[in-house]
Amino acid sequence: MPDLFTIIRPLLHALPPELAHQASLKALKCGFLPANKPATSPILSQNILGLEFKTPLGIAAGFDKNAEVVNPLLMQGFSFIEAGTVTPLPQAGNDKPRIFRLTEDNSIINRLGFNNHGLDIFVKNFSKHNKKFGIAGANIGKNRDTEDAAVDYVKGLTAIYPYADYITINISSPNTKGLRDLQKRASLSPLLAEISKAREQAINTYNKKIPIFLKISPDIDGKECENIAEAIISNGVDGLIISNTTISRPEFLKSARRSETGGLSGPPLFASSTKTLANMYKITKGKIPIIGVGGIASPEDAYIKIRAGASLIQMYTALVYQGLGLVRSINDKLPIMLERDGFKNISEAIGSDIN
């Protein structure tokens, strides 16, 4: 797989980023990419919130916004995928161009704005998920013009609930005006209370409890972390995803595109997202499962996230620069690092660097 990507990367990067992304989706849809053999090391296997993860590695929301390639992605060696973000109504997103490669920094800035085909198409596609391939989560958001955010999140949860293995509430994209305000204490608890109420109704209807994760920003301080932790615990949210993209711009960025508006992803996000992850792990005393995402570009990065408190990890931007061979590399090297440090299962390593 790495050799194939070495050949096709110049071709993909010669295209505008959105067009290259569409080409990647089409290649997966058509079966052009050969399947990767799934990882089988028992040291990576764990049960989290009633779900059996063969490895901790998943692909983050944003790659498969419309749930078009759920099964093909799972056949690339991911233990789980997260499709979306989906909004109730179709949405064009922000004006183009809206994705920028920062090649010198192996990073991306995007200001997409929840562009997607809407809930009806998403659910139709997502319902074709074959559970034998792995776990599939759905990431839900609100339409740009919706004033009462809870209405949209409840619509999303209700529609996707019969099909999803877990559901993520995305309130942290920097590219929808006012969305991140939902992380504030006065807004978050009422929102989560409505979502919790909707889940209780869905549990009664479908006789199953689907875990709910909340995806948060890396651009929050310690007090905001405490408020979020209090809100999720009091409203029965099961887990956190840390983090979304950042609006900060580290001084070491080299690319001429570094000043573009939008969310920055890739290695420059790693330090801040991992710091927020470790802080939330401390605040929640390790009792809330956390999916660590943001800047993972190597097996070593993945291991750092786990030792900082991540039960699971996700990546996306690194695939743009390294291809799907990175999936195999992480799945192969994590067991070696775990055994080197005396861990018998990955669960023993979670948060091991946090005092």
| CATH code for the domain of 28 | 3.20.20.70
Q: Is residue 354 part of a domain?
A: no
Does residue 40 register a pLDDT over 90? no
196 is catalytic: no
Q: Is residue 51 part of a domain?
A: yes
| Residue 332: how many other CB atoms lie within 10 Å | 13
How far is 20 from 12, CA to CA, in rounded Å? Answer: 5
Does residue 1 register a pLDDT over 60? no
Choose, from 79, 107, 172, 173, the residue flagged as catalytic: 173
- Contacts (Cβ under 8 Å, ≥6 apart) of 166: 49, 51, 135, 137, 138, 210, 211, 212, 213, 238, 239
What's phi and psi for 180, nearest 5 deg?
-70, -15
Total structural domains in the chain?
A: 1
Please, which pLDDT band fits residue 8 given cuts at 50, 70 and 90? confident
Q: Is residue 282 part of a domain?
A: yes
Domain that includes residue 257, residue range: 2-349
Q: Is the pTM of this model over 0.85?
A: yes
- Say if residues 84 and 140 touch (Cβ distance below 8 Å): yes
Q: Is residue 223 part of a domain?
A: yes
Does residue 39 register a pLDDT over 80? no
Q: Is residue 98 part of a domain?
A: yes
For the stretch 144-195, pLDDT in tens is 999 999 999 999 999 999 999 999 999 999 999 999 999 999 999 999 999 9
Burial call 204-216: b when 16+ CB within 10 Å, e when fewer: eeeeeebbbbbbb
CA proximity to 239, closest of 268, 210, 260: 210
| Residue 2: how many other CB atoms lie within 10 Å | 12
Q: Is residue 165 part of a domain?
A: yes
For the stretch 82-131, pLDDT in tens is 999 999 999 999 999 999 999 999 999 999 999 999 999 999 999 999 99
- Contacts (Cβ under 8 Å, ≥6 apart) of 8: none
Q: Kind of pairing, strands 312-315 and 57-59?
A: parallel
How far is 304 from 308, CA to CA, in rounded Å? Answer: 6
Q: Is residue 252 part of a domain?
A: yes
Q: Provide the pLDDT for residue 105.
A: 97
How far is 106 from 104, CA to CA, in rounded Å? Answer: 6
